Amino acid sequence: MTDPLSFSSTSPRFALPMLFAGQSQKEVIVNEALLAADVLLHPAIEAIITAPPTAPVNGQCWLVGASATGAFAGQSGRIAAWSEGGWRFVSAREGMRAYDIATAAYRFFAGGTWHLAPAPAAPSGGAVIDSEARTAIAAIITTLRAAGVLS
């Protein structure tokens, strides 16, 4: 006889809640999963903050900074999303990106923290323009690789 199938209660990557046969109030589980998916699909954060904003708008998200307080306490490094039901917190995964509206740049999650790709220094000085241009181009390529734009 074969072993019965066993399923986890959450998805492996983002811990989205899973349904079970005969489960009551499935709409609650499905709605929670849809809210989390809404945050995770093309995420955009307003800014990095350490305390909840006073008047969040439905669908707005923030990146919780270090030493967070209030409802954000213990949620550092996670994305906080506001919905009718209150705050939802989503943990980042390696390689995840989110657009930071405050800085007008993409942040990426690597090595357990969120990063902004460093901008290369502007070329300056030098007597030979060609070598200066090559250095600038190399810096741009390095930055694009660090941001995950180039492989």
At 72-125, the pLDDT tens digits run 999 999 999 998 879 999 999 999 999 999 988 889 999 999 998 777 766 777
Tell me the CB-side half-sphere exposure of residue 147, using CA atoms within 13 A: 17
Q: Can you give the residue range of the structural domain that contains 66? A: 26-116
Are 33 and 89 contained in the same domain?
A: yes
**What's the first-to-final CA gap in the chain, in angstroms?**
48
> Where is pLDDT greater, at 144 or 80?
80
Task: Let me know if residue 87 belongs to a domain.
Answer: yes
> Phi/psi of residue 30, each to 5°?
-65, -45
Q: Looking at the structure, tell me whether residues 47 and 101 fall in a common domain.
A: yes
Q: How many domains does the chain have?
A: 2
Q: What is the DSSP string of 8-20?
A: -SB-TTT--B---
Pair 105, 59 in one domain? yes
Residue 90: DSSP 8-state: E
Judge if 106 and 136 occupy the same domain.
no
0.75 cut: is pTM over it? no
Task: Please tell me whether residue 30 adopts helix, strand or coil conformation.
Answer: helix
**Percent of the chain clearing pLDDT 90 (strictly above):** 40
